[in-house]
């Protein structure tokens, strides 16, 4: 089977390696190099850098996916199938090119968490299960027919980078099974139940500020979900304080207002939430590296009754 891979993020690299090993990788489509860093040097996407280590495979980096010259170049690759992982929205003139369709690897159990941030939003919502969906792309956003799904449990303390790594590998494994079924003519597409759909919108910087009126568990879920971006933080009298890690303490509470420091311990401090206390164990003061709360408390005056986000 001749396949063209479309993707940019490192999430898709295991699938790219699989296609290189098991199929004829006719070409790769990635986002163009972008300026990055203090020197504003042009940096290739992780996928574009990785594919150059595999073999002499054509790499296309179009600015516009509806450009006629790009569509013509794709057509010349004579692919039986396209595989998309964490890429841009494709126009019909692109996803309709291959005879076997264009497959997408999505990091949720569709129709749940359609959109660009399914891993983060599932953790934020406190889900205990997620997974991988292989589906055929249509003109909607993650709405196409499902070819195969694989579910996995989300660990009680699992963070986005940890789940991201596991689902990246699972995506490649699930893709391999799907392609095998397609080649054997044993694949039976299933229409999504759109009534069960929910969205996974892109994360925004402003979401990093902790709302202490949420429950301790909800705050913990956000801390797990928002690593590494946008992170989680609270505002103090001296500026922004990143809340890097902690644990819910739901067996106790106080009558103080949400965001109040309830107790200061040698290695942590407790903050009142909408339900229960949240015990902060790792922080990141503005302009400094992350540190244990014990180290932070040795150099900072933090007293019971102090209020965050005022």
Q: What domain count does the chain have?
A: 2
Torsion angle of the four alpha carbons 140, 146, 151, 154, in this order, in degrees rounded to the nearest 10: 0
- The dihedral built from the CA positions of residue 50, 52, 56 and 57, taken in this order, carries a sign that is positive
Instruction: Band the pLDDT of 35: cuts 50, 70, 90.
Output: confident
Query: Do both 87 and 218 map to the same domain?
Result: no
pLDDT given for residue 67 in this prediction = 95
Mean pLDDT, residues 245-270: 89
Domain boundary (179, 196, 213) is at 196
Asked if residue 307 belongs to a domain, the reply is no
Examine the pLDDT at 254 and tell me if it is beyond 80: no
pLDDT given for residue 42 in this prediction = 84
Mean pLDDT, residues 124-146: 97
Query: Do both 99 and 231 map to the same domain?
Result: no
Examine the pLDDT at 204 and tell me if it is beyond 70: yes
Asked if residue 309 belongs to a domain, the reply is no
Asked if residue 44 belongs to a domain, the reply is yes
Mean pLDDT, residues 22-33: 95
Closest CA to 124 of 203, 11, 205, 206: 203
Examine the pLDDT at 157 and tell me if it is beyond 80: yes
How confident is the model over 271-309, as pLDDT tens digits?
999 999 999 999 999 999 999 999 999 988 899 999 998
pLDDT given for residue 36 in this prediction = 76
Q: What is the CATH number of the domain that holds 91?
A: 3.40.50.170
Mean pLDDT, residues 103-108: 98
Query: Do both 120 and 212 map to the same domain?
Result: no
Asked if residue 223 belongs to a domain, the reply is yes
Residue with tokens 């690897």: 105
Mean pLDDT, residues 227-253: 91
Instruction: Band the pLDDT of 252: cuts 50, 70, 90.
Output: low
Examine the pLDDT at 150 and tell me if it is beyond 70: yes
pLDDT given for residue 74 in this prediction = 96
Q: What is the 3-state secondary structure (H, E, C) of the chain?
A: CEEEEEECCHHHHHHHHHHHHHCEEEEEECCCCEEECCCCEEECCHHHHHHCCCCCCCEECCCCCCCHHHHHHHHHCCCCEEEEECCCCCCHHHHCCCCCCEEEEECCCCCCCECCCHHHHHHHCCCCEEEEEEEECCCCCCCCCEEEEEEEECCCCCCHHHHHHHHHHHHHHHHHHHHHHHHHCCCCCECCCHHHCCECCCCCHHHHECCCCCEHHHHHHHHHHCCCCCCCEEEECCEEEEEEEEEEECCCCCCCCCCEEEEECCCCEEEECCECEEEEEEEEECCCCCEEHHHHHHHCCCCCCCECCC
Examine the pLDDT at 310 and tell me if it is beyond 80: no
Query: Do both 51 and 161 map to the same domain?
Result: yes
Domain boundary (196, 216, 235) is at 196
Query: Do both 134 and 15 map to the same domain?
Result: yes
Query: Do both 210 and 190 map to the same domain?
Result: no
pLDDT given for residue 93 in this prediction = 96
pLDDT given for residue 238 in this prediction = 82
Query: Do both 170 and 38 map to the same domain?
Result: yes
Q: Residue 266 region, left (φ>0) first, then alpha (ψ -120 to 50), else beta?
A: alpha
How confident is the model over 55-93, as pLDDT tens digits?
789 999 999 999 999 999 999 999 999 999 999 999 999
Query: Do both 146 and 286 map to the same domain?
Result: no
Residue 160 main-chain phi, psi, to 5 deg: -55, -50
The residue segments making up the domain with residue 187 are: 2-196
- Residue 241 and residue 284 in contact, taking contact as beta carbons nearer than 8 Å: yes
Query: Do both 179 and 226 map to the same domain?
Result: no
Asked if residue 306 belongs to a domain, the reply is no
Q: What is the CATH number of the domain that holds 265?
A: 3.10.25.10
Query: Do both 139 and 80 map to the same domain?
Result: yes
Asked if residue 304 belongs to a domain, the reply is no
Domain boundary (196, 226, 258) is at 196
pTM for the full predicted model: 0.95
Query: Do both 40 and 140 map to the same domain?
Result: yes
Query: Do both 67 and 181 map to the same domain?
Result: yes
Asked if residue 305 belongs to a domain, the reply is no
Examine the pLDDT at 132 and tell me if it is beyond 70: yes
């Amino acid at each position: 089977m001749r396949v063209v891979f479309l993707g940019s993020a490192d999430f898709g690299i295991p699938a790219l390696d699989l296609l290189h090993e098991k199929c004829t990788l006719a070409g790769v489509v990635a986002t163009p190099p972008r300026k990055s860093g203090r020197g504003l040097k042009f940096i290739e996407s992780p996928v574009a850098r990785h594919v150059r280590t595999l073999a002499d495979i054509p790499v296309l980096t179009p600015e516009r996916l509806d450009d006629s010259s790009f569509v013509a170049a794709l057509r010349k690759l004579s692919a039986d199938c396209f595989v998309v992982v964490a890429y841009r929205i494709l126009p019909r003139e692109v996803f309709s090119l291959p005879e076997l369709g264009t497959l997408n690897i999505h990091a949720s159990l569709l129709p749940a968490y359609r959109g660009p941030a399914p891993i983060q939003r599932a953790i934020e919502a406190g889900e205990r299960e997620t997974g991988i969906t292989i589906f055929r792309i249509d003109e909607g956003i993650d709405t196409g027919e499902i070819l195969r799904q694989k579910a996995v449990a989300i660990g009680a303390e699992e963070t986005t980078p940890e789940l991201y790594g596991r689902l990246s590998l699972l995506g490649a494994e699930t893709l391999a099974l799907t392609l095998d079924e397609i080649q054997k003519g044993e694949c039976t597409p299933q229409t999504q139940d759109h009534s069960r759909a929910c969205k996974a919108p892109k994360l925004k910087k402003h979401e990093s500020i902790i709302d202490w009126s949420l429950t301790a568990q909800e705050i913990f879920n956000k801390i797990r979900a928002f690593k590494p971006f946008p992170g989680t933080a609270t505002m103090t009298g001296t500026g922004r304080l990143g809340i890097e890690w902690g644990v819910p303490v739901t067996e106790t509470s106080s009558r103080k207002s949400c965001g109040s420091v309830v107790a200061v311990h040698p290695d942590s401090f407790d903050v009142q939430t909408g339900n229960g206390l949240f015990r902060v164990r790792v922080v990141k003061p503005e302009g400094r590296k992350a540190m244990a709360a014990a180290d932070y408390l040795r150099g900072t005056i933090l007293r019971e009754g102090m209020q965050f986000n005022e």
